[in-house]
Amino acid sequence: MKKLLIIIMLIVFLFPMNIYAEEDLLKNAKSGLLIEATTGEILYEKNMDEKVAVASMTKMVAQIIILENIENGTLTWDEKIKVSNNAAGMGGSQIWLQPGEEMTVRDLMKGITMASANDATVALAERIGGTEQNFVTMMNEKVKELGLKNTHFVNPTGLDEDNHYSSAYDMGMIAKELLTHEEILEFSSVYEDYIRQDTPNKFWLVNTNKLIRFYEGADGLKTGFTDNAGYCMAVTAKRDGMRLIAIVLGEDVGKVRNEETAELLDYGFNMYKVDLVKSKDEVITDIKIDKGDKDKISVSSNEDLLVLKKKSELSKDYDLETKLNEIKLPIKEGDVLGKVLVKEGNKIIKEAELVANESVNKLGYFKTLLETIKDILTGSMI
């Protein structure tokens, strides 16, 4: 018994775990949220629908629109943006852009993500929207597109203004959407960098999110502070194949914000895990093709099939059920052909789209005729 107690004490000493009960979390924050990023499942919430000021966390929506423009080709990382008087005149956090200065989209994005630069945000807003206000309209349209009801923006930066607000839940969904654009992590995971390289005005950037340096697995996402909003933070971290998003709003002290965000993430990583049922590159089944240039093709899920569980729950066997749409030729690789259901007993716990892993074309007229004759002859011989 003594030996067992000694072993237990050594384990606790050598491998400490910060375990927090739900009632101990976010004692000082106005509101907050913890979600698993892939499933979107809520692991913890405090006043998640309360409308509050969110400071520079507003910029996450601006980042989504910027990245969408990069992806659709209307903007490139190397394009140089000429800075307007309006952009250069922004107060608050900035990278000290000068009127008429030209800076690449990449360096402006560094400024937004790492230094929460208002001037860089407005410079890109004007490039994409034509005017700052047009870009704000685009931001509000994006929020509606995401189905969020407790968010409205008046500016792209998060500076305090009447009728500019969001909520912990909406910020969590915005962060989740932002993470679908994986390039954001190339910026948000960097602790320090430079802009205006090889010029007399070389500028050192240090990430406002200190957790990416001090919290294991943290690689984003956005901080904020104004007098009205207090200290705010959206942090994402990944461990053992599970990515969490923590939202903390309305803290009075920056250090406390960081500590409570870390505690919230600790709670999630200590209490939960994800089971990988099937990865998106694994074949789920083959489907028969009639009158195509292939007899069958394989199909897979369009995403990793992950199931969120408490660590205290035993992993169970999962069943996969496929539901196919009406198959019409031709089929292109990546076409959605139905859906796959992940079931635990009779309970559906996850579903995703089934996509074709290869393309199939219709048979030509004569080949179709030959196949029909073959079917008739085969049938007559049975």
Q: Which of 31, 84, 93, 116 is catalytic?
A: 116
Strand, helix or coil for residue 336: strand
Give the CA distances from residue 88 to residues 18, 95, 99, 153, in Å, rounded to whole numbers and listed in that order. 45, 9, 6, 21
Q: Say how far apart CA 262 and CA 48 lie, in whole Å.
A: 18
Catalytic residue of the set 56, 84, 166, 167: 56
Q: Where are the beta strands (DSSP E) in 78-157?
A: 80-82, 102-104
Task: Write out the two tokens for 86.
Answer: 């309006």
In terms of Cβ atoms closer than 10 Å to its own Cβ (0-12, 13-18, 19+), residue 19 is exposed
- Mark whether 116 is an active-site residue: yes
Distance CA 150, CA 165 (A): 8
What pairs with residue 338 in β-bridges?
324, 354
Residue 365: Cβ-neighbour burial (10 angstroms; 0-12, 13-18, 19+):
exposed
Which residue among 30, 46, 59, 210 is the active-site one? 59
* Strand, helix or coil for residue 286: strand
**Residue 104: beta bridge partners?**
80
Q: Return the residue matching tokens 């579903």.
A: 351
Q: Please identify every residue annotated as catalytic.
A: 56, 59, 116
